[in-house]
Structure formats: structure tokens, C-alpha cells
Amino acid sequence: MANFSGLTDELGFMLAKAEIATPEPDKAETSEPEPSQQLTAAGEALNASATWFRAAARDDGALDGRAFLEATSALTPWLDSLGCGITSMVNVNVAKLETRFGADDAFEEIEVGAAVADEASRGAKDDDDSVFVAALWNARILSLIGRLLESVLACADLATDPRTLCEIITASYEDTLARHHNWAVRPAAKALLLMTPDRADLLADFGYAAVEWNTRARSDFAEFVAAVEACLGRLAAIYARYDEAI
């Protein structure tokens, strides 16, 4: 019995020693991927806006007024980060749309085309506070933003793109909004665009880590462009009846 007891004690000691000596699993094989870092309010604003733009572009080809209002309103923090004065231009028109589409007693699914047609039939489409004017100018500004992001995405590697963001947004302005501005407004608008921060600072302000530029940031930008383009297509069809271009 004494020998058996000693043997079990020795086995217990050996097992304990072996357990202590057991190497840890390779962390590279067992660790889970690092979670993406949290986007800032400005970064999240683009995704929230894209969600509303998708909701605004109805399956029947119409454009829902309340969802369009929410989409443009949600984009404000993202536009603020651009630092070039676009936010104030958008917000002026948002305030006008709020009157028609944002009231608590407003019919939830007022369609932008119907509101525009109603104003045209009453001879009110050119009134400064009309949906006609507000939606048209916000559409033109959104066309600029969409072109900006399309141009950013055109480069295969966002980290090595030799173009500055100022160069990209200025070229995007020339292709879109500039055609609707007169000779006096264009120089002032282009001067404001020079205030756009550089790419690294802007993406950091949105909350993207450098390793996410060509993955998460690219995906978010592409989804926003697709959502806003669906709305711009509907708006172009609405305003074509009145010989107005987006």
C-alpha cells in the first residue's frame, strides 16, 4: 500500500509538471480578427445618409420626400468635415424642405415629383422657399459630392493617390455644380474648396484607420455613391420636364 501510494503521488507530480510545461497555443492561429475601430459621428453620418437615400429611391421610380429630407439632414456632420462651406448651402435648402416634408402632420410619403408638379401648376415653382428650388439645388450639390467620391474611388490605392483632395473636389465642382453658378460665384466657390483638408486628415476625422482606407472606407464610399445616384436619377427625370438639369 505504501508503494502504491508513493507511485500515485509521483504520477500526480509528473502530470502537474507536464501541465505547467504545456506550451500555449499559437496566438496567430487562434486569435480572432481585430474589430474595426469605431467611426466618428462624421464617418457614421455618411452611412446613415446612404440608408435614407436608399429608402428615398422608391421601387416605383418615385422619390420619397421625407426620406430625401432625412438623407440630406443626416449628411451634415460628414459635410462639416470637408470644411469648405458646403454644409451651409445644403442646410438652407434642408430648412425649406423641412417646411413641406418634415412637419409632424405631413403625409409621410409625399413624393418630391408630386410636390414639384403641384408648385408648377400654381405658378409657385420659382418661389425661393419652394420644394422645386430647394430639392433642385440640393440635388446639384449632391451631384458634386457623388462625383467627388467617384473620383476618389477611381484610384486603385487611396494611400498612394498622387492627387490632393483639393484637386479632386475642384475638378468635381467644374464637372457638376460650376455649370449652374454664374461668373461671379465660381471664383468664390473654388476659393472655399481650397479649404478641404488633406486625405489623411479627412479619413482620420471620419474614424478610418490607415489599414481601412482601401477596404472599409472604399466600401462605405461606394455604397453612398450608389444610393445617392439612384436618387439623382429620379430627380433628373422630375426636373427634365421643366428643362432644369441636375
Domain map (residue ranges) of the chain: 42-240
User: What mean pLDDT do residues 6-26 have?
Assistant: 44
Determine the Cα–Cα distance for residues 185 and 169; give it in Å rounded to an integer. Answer: 16
Tell me the per-residue pLDDT of 162-198, one tens digit each, with 9 for 90 and over. Answer: 999 999 999 999 999 999 999 999 999 999 999 999 9
The number of beta carbons lying within 10 Å of the beta carbon of residue 11 is: 10
222: left (phi over 0), alpha (psi -120 to 50) or beta: alpha
Q: Would you state the pLDDT for residue 109? A: 60
Q: Is 206 in contact with 81 (CB distance < 8 Å)?
A: yes
**136-169 per-position pLDDT tens digit:** 999 999 999 999 999 999 999 999 999 999 999 9
Secondary structure (DSSP) of 139-168: HHHHHHHHHHHHHHHTSS-TTT--S-HHHH
Q: What is the pLDDT of residues 33-50, one digit of tens each?
A: 455 679 999 999 999 999
Contact present, 165 and 151 (Cβ < 8 Å): no
The pLDDT-based confidence of 10 (bands split at 50, 70, 90) is very low
pLDDT at residue 100 in the model: 82
> What span, in angstroms and rounded, lies between the C-alpha atoms of 79 and 243?
29
- Centre a 10 Å sphere on the Cβ of residue 51 and count the other Cβ atoms it contains: 17
pLDDT on residue 108: 53
Name the residue with cell 408630386. 114
27, pLDDT greater than 90: no
Q: Is the pLDDT of residue 32 over 70?
A: no
Q: How far apart are CA 205 and CA 184, in angstroms?
A: 32
Does residue 67 have a pLDDT over 70? yes
Is pLDDT of 16 > 70? no
pLDDT of res. 85: 86
Max intra-chain CA distance, the chain: 110
Residue-wise pLDDT tens digits, 81-132: 998 889 999 999 999 998 888 665 554 568 999 999 999 999 999 999 999 9
CATH class of the domain at 42-240:
mainly alpha
